[in-house]
Structure 1
Amino acid sequence: MCGVVFFDDQQCGDNYCRCCGRSEPDHQPYYAECFDHNLTYIPQLPHSIRHLRFAANNLTSVPLTEHFFSNVTQITDLLLISTKMSHIELNAFKGLRNLTCVLVTGSEHLTMESFRVLMAIPGLQYLSAHSCQLSSPPKDLFSNMTSDVVELSLSLNFPTDYTCLYDLTAYSALDKLRNIDLAICSICAVKTSTVVRIQSLNLNDNSMKGLPESCAANEVSLFPNLSSLKISENGLLFLKKACLPSLKFLDLSYNGVVVRSFSITQCPCLQTLWMSYINTGWMKLASNLFSHPTLEELHLEGDHIAFGSHDRVPSNIFANCSRLTRLSLAKNNFENVDDARFLELLGHLSLEELNLSKNKLSSFSLSTLSNFSNLSRLELMSIGISSIPDGAFDSLKNLYWLNLTQNDITIVTKQTFSVETRQRLRFLYLDRNPFTCSCQLLWFRNWFVSDMELFQRNASSRLEYKCNNLPGTSLANFTMVDQACVMSHAMNVVIVFTCTIVIVTLTITSIVFRFRWNIRLALYEAFRGRGDVRRLRLLADHFDYDVFVSYDKEDLPWVYGKLMPELEERLGLRLCVHERDFIPGNNIVDNIVECVQSSKKILMVFSKDFVRSQWCQFELTFCMNHVMNFDDVLLIVCVDDVASRDMSAAMMAVLRTTTYIQWEELDDAVHSFWGRLRLALHEIIPLDGAL
């Protein structure tokens, strides 16, 4: 009760009650509860009891007399809950000299006379009479009496006479009364016929259509001392003239349509204004609507105000607000509000607290907030940002509270907040963001684990820091091997890219090298001319030989026995053969080069022995380059079958791109072989040889 921590629960009061102690050196019982025994009296309780809760008993037919509390004269707080009492005698509380707080609830038949007795308890400062069906008091109810009550709570009273008008005139007689709570009482209007000097009036959740009547006929205020007026959730339809010269706090939230003609300048001392959830988004707001020289705090949450529309929201809507330091614009419409428009509306304000939560700030950059150097508390929950620019909040030297909950932030790096900013922040909420747990986030994870109180709004909020890319993994439990994060992400990308390029280059080079002759020959076949270069060479040059023959020495018998007789004796061609025509004493390479260049045609004799000969492979390479340079072709004859696995790359390339002539010993095959060879040599065969 009253925030006190109790312990040592024990039976007391003839075993009808329960007594508890509190953390004091003597551990004496301090709190007593007598609950649900249909008691018609208060049993004898320990003298140390100060708080008594007398609940769910039946006092319907038992009046409260001066003897009713004789066993607890020392109590300071009294709760009479659901006792159904109706009548209280004038001297019932006479012996309770220390009583300062009384709470009566659920006594549906409590009379006005009993209410007057409660108000007259000497020394009583707080009185609450909830759910007692008390209606508006008669104007003279408190006449000729003294009351020390400072705070009166009458919420949840629904009068049985169905009168929704509440008259505050009776309270004008109570000089010490400062606060009246009339929330949830079905009140439709409030009036007074004389000045009431209360300071606070709570009319929340009623049925009022307008403000309480506050102006006398001569425009003198009927509530000259009223500094706080709460009238939210009433369905207000109009705000007529108000005479509230001392009003500092006004709550108009959760109402219907608030007429634009109402001006807060009618309240010259206004400091705090709540106008949240009144749905003014469809309205064209008046110029200087919130302009007020004393206004310090303004709440416009959930009003759907289209701040991006110059037609509906004038630029001077917050003009002349030189003292405005706390502003909440959560849950409005910031579409098309860019940096320039934002500064046009708010740039002149010396804000210390700003709430922009649950607005989609798509055209707005966080760097604009650097213009508000006095900011100490900043709420940016659910504004749709995916990243925080490095140092975005470093210029806000007074910032200690920052809420970035439920955005799309994936990474927080060491550069996001400077060392000074991290030391300055006492509250930094980043929960419910889709963090990508990787090396880039490891630094933030370590900061989070080392100072969890900084990031937690409550005990369970730490569970709202999760790795979006690792389902079921919380940020606190995310770990990575240090070696895996030695290099930066950018360096890893460069390394992977470089390695990929190197691998691709090596692969292409290997393929090109392996099939280099195939490629060269294919290009040669694709781009070589129609024989003009070859014909001009044959006409212009002086040749010593008609055909250069390249062969292995093991194939010499075939060359001497078959080839030379046919080409030299029958066709009249001059062949260049190593053993016969190379000049003795010359370098063998020089012999090959000179003989190739001195021959009109080149004929290669492929065989198994040709494959194994290094000189033959050299001749093949050289001859291939030679014919390509002169737009010619190699003449290839195969004297036996050579397995492809034994061939060099050059031989494979030649056989795949050139039609070769196969030698076989059969008569028909021999005749075909020489016929095909003569056809291949027709350009250089003498006319008599062709015949």
Structure 2
Amino acid sequence: MGDHLDLLLRMVLVASPALGISSCFFDGWRALYRSCNLTQVPQVPNTTKSLLLSFNYIRTVTTASFPFLEQLQLLELGTQFTPLTIDKEAFQNLPNLRILDLGKSQIDFLHPDAFQELPHLSELRLFYCGLSSAVLKDGYFRNLGSLTRLDLSKNQIQSLYLHRSFRELNSLKSIDLSLNQITIVCEHDLKPLQGKTLSFLSLADNNLYSRVSMDWGKCLNPFRNMVLETLDVSGNGWAVDITRNFSNAINGSQIFSLVLTYHVMGSGFGFTNIKDPDQHTFVGLAGSSVIQLDLSHGFIFSLNFQLFETLKELKVLNLAYNKINNIAHKAFYGLDNLQVLNISHNLLGELYNSNFYGLPKVTYIDLQKNHIGIIQDKTFRFLKKLNTLDLRDNALKTIDFLPSIPNIFLSGNKLATLPNIALTANFITLSENRLENLDNLYFLLQVPHLQILILNQNRFSFCNQDHAPSENLSLEELFLEENMLQLAWEVGFCWDVFKGLSHLRVLYLNKNYLNFLPPGVFRHLTALRGLSLKDNRLTVLFPGDLPANLEVLDISRNQLLSPDPDLFASLSAVDITHNKFICECELSTFISWLNQTNVTIFGSLADIYCMYPSSMAGASLYSLSTEDCDEEEVLESLKFSLFTFFTVTLTLFLVAILIVTKFRGFCFICYKKTQRLVFKDPIKGRESDTYKYDAYLCFSSKDFEWVQNALLKHLDAQYSDRNRFNLCFEERDFLPGENHIANIQDALWSSRKVVCLVSRHFLRDGWCLEAFSYAQSRCLADLSGALIMVVVGSLSQYQLMKHRSIRGFVQKQQYLRWPEDLQDVGWFLNKLSQLILNKEKERKKDNDIQLQSVTTIS
């Protein structure tokens, strides 16, 4: 598989010149005159070996049409746009002609001696020429002793009665009579072919035996005393009865490959009017030594009991494109020599242990594109010779049933994880599944003898734990295209996934959203020769990112800006097309390398273009000059000085920011002290107004100790003379014996602001939630923003939204959150104090204050 890699193929294509061929020319041995409006054969030199005259208007071919062309071997006269007349011995001046093509030309007249004097003619193409049965029965092919292949398909032949001259055609091996109107072929029709061995005989698409009443006792065996390597009778509309009668009629004739495709055998899905084949259908083939049987493209629904029992020598059985939904017990019994079984494109949903009983020598089973979701664990385990199992495009969710075989195809299923089973294989493909955990990749890399592993179009994005290196010494090719390795690598996991793959030669990582390569991720891939990183988001490659012995690299369709040419110097080929190059002087080294390197550069010159600046967008890098960049060397010292200045300035600025951030609490205290000293701003007393209290603190009694230490000692005037607020709270200011609701209402309406300290205890306290609701009612009644909500502790938005009254406030208003860092407490208390002091008119004038920005002090 490595010989057909996309990268190496592209290298060959790029190195090959484009072929531009004119429609009318002669190059010394080949004369090509297709579609040249010719009405007669042109005069060509006698050195011509191939003369191609299709798609012209030549009407007549006579003995005088051709000069003597002793070396001519191929003549193509097919597809003339006018009816063609071919006279007696029309080709006698072409004594060494090997291939004569008259196909798809309407032949109005063909002389019975038209093909005489052609002793070396081996292939005669007369398809779609409007010929009748006379071409077979009137001896048109006399004396063609070298004729090997005769194509008479798509004509109007109705009878297969052959002229006795066919007996003399000792070299004849292939006859194609498909798509004619031959309805009956009996023994006397093909007598001239008796005793011959044909490699191919096609009677396909003739409605053979299907629209006539047959007396097989009189017709007898049409292929008596003949050996046919391939007999094609497909597309004739045969049901079970015709197939059975035909099989019985040809009993004893040696037919190694029987093609019976596009039949109508079988009930199909949901119908019962046409029978499925049974154990009597193919009994007549017992003496025909059939090695290959093609029953594809039909309507077989059930493979019945001992269906193929008599086909002891069968090696290849093709049942693809039927409607098979059921495999009866011992359906394959008797196929002791079968090696290849194709049941793809059917309707199978489950496979059982007994389904493939009787196949001791089968090596290849094709089950792709069914609907298989369940397979019993021993279904394939007794098939000791099984070499390849193809289960692509089914609905499998587990692989417990897999035997240890060399080749396993499991693409296009629904596998989300892989069980830890004993497995041995040389080739595994699991593309287009649902594998997410890289643990599955580590498991597969430990499969003994594995050489090729294909995991394209999965979802690899994380791994649960660290793994020991795989140490796989056999793996040569690994395909991981269209996954999400970036998600796993960006969190620092699975960087050693390729460790131990010392024999890996080819690695594909296309479309993995990679914006960086983990340091040393390819370090252990000492044998790697081809690496594809196409269609990712890489902006830069660092020295050491690429394996030392890498030869071919595809880094196209990334976001490389100014790559270092030294990274590519050791390669033999590289694809860097469709990147986002910044065409400034920093790229001059790379541009010079492009114009001088011996490394093969894939792609068109126009595909290596500038993205920035916009004035140069789309310009090819090969068209750019680097001369102007030399003038900038004079300014290097100035640039360095400017760089140093800005670096020092930026460093000092960042250090200042770091200090302020780290010691912001201390800085805030210093700021307040400086403000008092400079502006002589003594602590003001509370202005008299209509309110008894500055604020009502609503909190759970279980939080009293914390509230006292965190707020009351710093804000309440009764706790300290330095404090400026007259605060109200339940433990001190509620009247004993008074109704609790009355106390709450009195506190609410006697306070300028209501501060609700929402904690976990608050959310469990019914009185606190009731007070919160009353506070909201007050806000609605006097159209004020008197309610200040402070969230204490690690309460999530979801926990707050669970309570209706709080949910309504959170959805429409902004709230404060108690800071987690102690050094932010002073700043927070200052802000809370300003909110308590703010009067409603002032708040309305400054309606754009964003409280939420105050809340996120974390």
> Is 1:33 matched up with 2:79?
no
> Once the two structures are aligned, what percentage of the paired residues are identical?
17
Corresponding residue for residue 610 of structure 1: none
Within-5 A mapping of 1:334-373: 334-335=396-397, 337=398, 351-361=425-435, 365-370=440-445, 372-373=447-448
Q: Which of 232, 248, 258 is matched with 2:296 structurally?
A: 232
**TM, length-normalised to structure 1:** 0.58
1:627-665 CA deviation, whole Å, 9 max, x = no partner? xxxxxxxxxxxxxxxxxxxxxxxxxx9xx99xxxxxxxx
Corresponding residue for residue 73 of structure 1: 119
> Is 1:192 matched up with 2:238?
no
Question: What SS class does the counterpart of residue 317 from structure 1 fall into?
Answer: coil
What is the one-letter code of the residue matched to 2:128?
Answer: S
Within 1, Cα distance between the matches of 2:496 and 2:99? 56
Within 2, Cα distance between the matches of 1:420 and 1:429? 14
Within 2, Cα distance between the matches of 1:166 and 1:481? 83
Question: What SS class does the counterpart of residue 368 from structure 2 fall into?
Answer: coil
Worse-superposed segment, 415-424 or 227-236: 415-424
> Is 1:43 matched up with 2:90?
yes
Change (3 A) 1:381 1:116: farther
What displacement does 1:330 show? 0.9
What is the one-letter code of the residue matched to 1:21?
Answer: K
Q: Which of 145, 151, 163 is matched with 2:200 structurally?
A: 151
Corresponding residue for residue 185 of structure 2: 137
Do 1:327 and 1:351's aligned partners in 2 also have CA atoms closer than 8 Å?
no
Within-5 A mapping of 1:562-641: none
Within 1, Cα distance between the matches of 2:183 and 2:471? 57
Within 1, Cα distance between the matches of 2:336 and 2:345? 24
What displacement does 1:160 show? 9.0
Do 1:79 and 1:104's aligned partners in 2 also have CA atoms closer than 8 Å?
yes
Within-5 A mapping of 1:429-578: 433-440=511-518, 465-467=534-536, 475-476=555-556, 478=558, 479=560, 481=562, 505-517=658-670, 526=713
Do 1:198 and 1:223's aligned partners in 2 also have CA atoms closer than 8 Å?
no
Do 1:90 and 1:117's aligned partners in 2 also have CA atoms closer than 8 Å?
no
Worse-superposed segment, 47-56 or 296-305: 47-56
Within 1, Cα distance between the matches of 2:163 and 2:495? 65
Change (3 A) 1:349 1:46: farther
Within-5 A mapping of 1:40-119: 40-41=86-87, 43-44=90-91, 45-59=93-107, 62=110, 65=112, 67-86=113-132, 87=134, 88-89=136-137, 91-114=139-162
Do 2:449 and 2:474's aligned partners in 1 also have CA atoms closer than 8 Å?
yes
- Provide structure 1 residue ranges, at least 5 long, that are not aligned to the other structure: 308-312, 456-461, 487-498, 535-652, 658-691
Change (3 A) 1:76 1:524: closer
1:201-240 CA deviation, whole Å, 9 max, x = no partner? 22222222278788699x7852552121121110112334
Do 2:365 and 2:388's aligned partners in 1 also have CA atoms closer than 8 Å?
yes
Change (3 A) 1:477 1:354: closer
1:244-285 CA deviation, whole Å, 9 max, x = no partner? 11111111112113432153233111111111121212x4x3
Within 1, Cα distance between the matches of 2:444 and 2:215? 47
Q: Which of 154, 159, 173 is matched with 1:125 structurally?
A: 173
Question: What SS class does the counterpart of residue 49 from structure 1 fall into?
Answer: coil
Do 2:158 and 2:183's aligned partners in 1 also have CA atoms closer than 8 Å?
no
Within 2, Cα distance between the matches of 1:108 and 1:393? 69
What is the one-letter code of the residue matched to 1:267?
Answer: L
Within-5 A mapping of 1:373-452: 373-386=448-461, 397-400=473-476, 402-408=478-484, 410=486, 416-417=497-498, 423-425=504-506, 433-440=511-518
- Provide structure 2 residue ranges, at least 5 long, that are not aligned to the other structure: 1-26, 52-68, 267-274, 409-420, 540-553, 568-651, 677-682, 684-709, 722-826, 832-858
Question: What SS class does the counterpart of residue 266 from structure 1 fall into?
Answer: coil
Corresponding residue for residue 49 of structure 2: 21
Do 2:107 and 2:130's aligned partners in 1 also have CA atoms closer than 8 Å?
yes
Question: What SS class does the counterpart of residue 109 from structure 1 fall into?
Answer: coil
What is the one-letter code of the residue matched to 1:73?
Answer: P
Q: Which of 338, 354, 359 is matched with 1:288 structurally?
A: 354
Do 2:479 and 2:509's aligned partners in 1 also have CA atoms closer than 8 Å?
yes
What displacement does 1:331 show? 1.0
Change (3 A) 1:208 1:532: closer
Do 2:160 and 2:190's aligned partners in 1 also have CA atoms closer than 8 Å?
no
The structure whose Rg is larger is: 1
Do 1:119 and 1:149's aligned partners in 2 also have CA atoms closer than 8 Å?
no
What is the one-letter code of the residue matched to 1:246?
Answer: E
Do 1:55 and 1:83's aligned partners in 2 also have CA atoms closer than 8 Å?
yes
Question: What SS class does the counterpart of residue 182 from structure 2 fall into?
Answer: coil
Question: What SS class does the counterpart of residue 161 from structure 2 fall into?
Answer: helix
What is the one-letter code of the residue matched to 1:526?
Answer: K
Within 2, Cα distance between the matches of 1:274 and 1:500? 73
The count of residues paired between Structure 1 and Structure 2 equals 489
Do 1:17 and 1:33's aligned partners in 2 also have CA atoms closer than 8 Å?
no
Question: What SS class does the counterpart of residue 179 from structure 1 fall into?
Answer: strand
CA RMSD of aligned residues (A): 5.2
Question: What SS class does the counterpart of residue 228 from structure 2 fall into?
Answer: coil
What displacement does 1:124 show? 0.9
Change (3 A) 1:397 1:79: farther
Q: Which of 331, 335, 341 is matched with 1:263 structurally?
A: 331
Question: What SS class does the counterpart of residue 173 from structure 1 fall into?
Answer: coil
What is the one-letter code of the residue matched to 1:466?
Answer: D
What is the one-letter code of the residue matched to 1:235?
Answer: F
What displacement does 1:287 show? 2.0
Do 1:393 and 1:421's aligned partners in 2 also have CA atoms closer than 8 Å?
no
Within-5 A mapping of 1:199-218: 199-209=256-266
Q: Which of 365, 372, 376 is matched with 1:298 structurally?
A: 365
Do 1:329 and 1:357's aligned partners in 2 also have CA atoms closer than 8 Å?
no
What is the one-letter code of the residue matched to 1:467?
Answer: N
Within 2, Cα distance between the matches of 1:109 and 1:320? 51
> Is 1:316 matched up with 2:316?
no
Change (3 A) 1:84 1:442: farther
Question: What SS class does the counterpart of residue 516 from structure 1 fall into?
Answer: helix
Change (3 A) 1:482 1:110: same
